[in-house]
Structure 1
């Protein structure tokens, strides 16, 4: 298990914050990753795994524990479950966007709209990554993981991961612990083999983002190129020369609220139902009908609302900064909190709390952070 000289987490995370861990080990094979985790768990010391560092907000103080760098990589092609499909088993440390690029090159459909998302493949199921109507839950078959409680390696079907909107049983939400403490070793996806020809786009959200008509046909490569361009305009594609990309991506989650609460928000606030809203159908056998209809069943639906809209309409515009702070909202996208150059974690946290307070005061809603927080609190 290779141990490497500790360096500040600010050099390993896209938000560019974080003190120096007591210890860093680097795993380049699945066997090394398993061995490293078992050793760390046996010693009972604080730990966390780090892939691309794109979904982590680390505090300024040194981390008194071990950071396990996941540097595994590789793609194995397997038969699909039905004609016209193929399965890919991908190592956890493989770069996510490199995987997307490879699938487009092979003519495999299913994750092309998630082009440009930073991070590693192993992190993708943890928060059910998604973009423009595609989510990994739509193609994920299973994961191979190792459980902290037992140190055992097992293959877990996707249905057992509790995948929801940016969540799973493996996700450590702010202020809570994951339902299942485990580390993903590999991920298996099932994709559709369609080649490089053009075809209509099924998803309305993706069509809208790319400005496509319902019957307009495009290729996987066209989708990838245009998604990357769209994300770049929002500062959501990593660029070492652009401070707008020195972030953890979307810092706050789009809020999931009740229908009743959603109705209290302005009509202009973008809202998306989390499930199809269907008219209820009551079937009563004719022989049992007594002329009286039963009262309708009231179903309560959840609604997703735009955190970016809430921030902007709480009076915080793109590029907003607190006085004398080196942290600021992206000049391209209000949902990204950015490091404008040597900002401390304390400065980022101060800005995050200010955003939360303004949105809560204006709309009665407390936005929740999306990145994993280590050694820092809001």
Structure 2
């Protein structure tokens, strides 16, 4: 554990906002991370863990607490109990995109469509990151957690994390706290061994994004390369010379709505029906059989709709900014709020609230922020 001179969080976050914390710790090893967090929690200070800083929107005031920077790295390849699969245990501070590159080079499939997503591996399950129809929930086996309440390290299965659309029990949502206060130390994924051969591409979203037909076959390396190109065109790959990448990625979540509400939206609004959960198996002991089956549970059909389309069709085009503001929508993607140079958190928050108001007025839907908000309100 190394205590360092605090620097403004505007230098460590991709939205480039935030003042300096009262205290800052750099954790380069797993033991450093555990020790630093335990000491911070014992002191009772406010605290914040920081990986790549790509999913944080931090307020302008200095953070009166301790920031723990997770700088651990490393990938361990392990056998899987399932033939044709491999497990990778990855340290929390490892770059997510570096992990994707490693997996593709090794001929492993399962996360190649999530290439170019900024941030660290430890943050990925918190947010249940995803892109083009892939989510980390599809490949996640377990995580190692350090629990704030007990200070203990435990291994927690993916099923215990409450993974949903861009959420988990570990995520602090706008206006609420995380259901479980803990920090991820490592992540274990299970990927499929496919080598460099071409194979069919599953998922309409990914095929559409890459311009592939239903019968197309490509390699995982081809998918990664073309996803990176697609993201770069949208300003979603970090580039210090491109102000469109000074963002937290997609600032608003694609909305999950009922099928009936989706039908009130214009037909042109892109939408993706979500698969309902499998019906549970009902076992009735023969001695208790009375000739009747219990009613099957009813599930509300849900649909994911495009937040970017809603924003643009509420009259807010790419590049939109409020008068005299240094915050603006990306010129490449209407879902990214960008810092055009020196924008304050207050300016970005003002723009976010304006967008929410316009979409609500036009379509009756409140867009929810995707980044974690620290010291800022919408």
Q: Scaled by the length of structure 1, what TM-score is found?
A: 0.94
The answer to whether the Cα contact below 8 Å between 2:5 and 2:24 also exists between their aligned partners in 1 is yes
User: 2:14 aligned with 1:2, yes or no?
Assistant: no
Aligned to 2:332: 332
Deviation at 1:204, TM superposition (A): 1.9
Within the alignment, does 1:117 sit opposite 2:117 as a pair? yes
Distance (Å, rounded) in 1 between the aligned partners of 2:232 and 2:48? 30
Query: What does the per-residue CA deviation read over 1:202-230, in whole Å, with 9 as the maximum and x for residues that have no partner?
Result: 22211111111222211111111000000
Q: What is the distance in 1 between the residues matched to 2:155 and 2:277? A: 35
Q: Could you say what secondary structure the match of 1:126 adopts?
A: helix
Q: Aligned partners of 2:296 and 2:58: how far apart in 1?
A: 50
Matches within 5 A, 1:1-378: 1-276=1-276, 299-378=299-378
* Residue aligned with 1:125, SS: helix
Distance 1:169 1:250 in 2: 21
Give 3-state SS (helix, strand or coil) of 1:41's partner. helix
Per mean C-alpha deviation after superposition, the further-off stretch among 252-261 and 218-227 is 252-261
Q: In 2, Cα distance between the equivalents of 1:196 and 1:313?
A: 41
**Residue-by-residue CA offset, 1:65-84 (whole Å, 9 max, x unaligned):** 00000000000010012111
Give the secondary structure class of the aligned counterpart of 2:122. helix
Query: What is the DSSP-based 3-state SS (H/G/I as helix, E as strand, rest coil) of the residue aligned with 2:57?
Result: strand
Cα deviation, residue 260, structure 1 = 2.0
Aligned-partner Cα distance in 1 for 2:296–2:264: 24
Residues 312-360 of structure 1, C-alpha deviation per residue, up to 9 Å, x if partnerless? 0110000000000000000000000000011111110010010011111
Aligned length: 367
Contact 2:276–2:299 (Cα < 8 Å) also in 1: no
Equivalent in the alignment of 2:284: none
Residue 283 of structure 1 corresponds to none
CA displacement 1:278-311 (0-9 Å, x = unmatched): 9xxxxxxxxx79xxxx999864212211111110
Over the aligned positions, Cα root-mean-square deviation in angstroms equals: 1.9
CA distance in 2, matches of 1:190, 1:169: 21
Q: Give the whole-Å Cα distance in 1 for the aligned partners of 2:265 and 2:202.
A: 30
Structure 2: unaligned runs, 5 residues or longer: 279-290
Specify the SS of the correspondent of 1:164: coil
Distance (Å, rounded) in 1 between the aligned partners of 2:5 and 2:86? 41
Deviation, 1:264, is 1.6
3-state SS, counterpart of residue 25 of structure 2: strand
CA distance in 2, matches of 1:263, 1:155: 43
Mapped to 2, the partners of 1:271 and 1:214 lie a distance apart of: 19
In the alignment, what sits opposite 2:283?
Answer: none
Change (3 A) 1:295 1:180: closer
Distance in 2 (alpha carbons) for counterparts of 1:74 and 1:159: 24
Residue equivalent to 1:284: none
Q: CA separation in 2, counterparts of 1:53 and 1:92?
A: 13
* CA distance, structure 1, for counterparts of residue 193 and residue 22 of structure 2: 46
The TM-score, its normalising length taken from structure 2, stands at 0.94
Evaluate the alpha carbon distance shift between residue 298 and residue 164 of structure 1 in structure 2; reply closer, same or farther with a 3 A threshold. Answer: closer
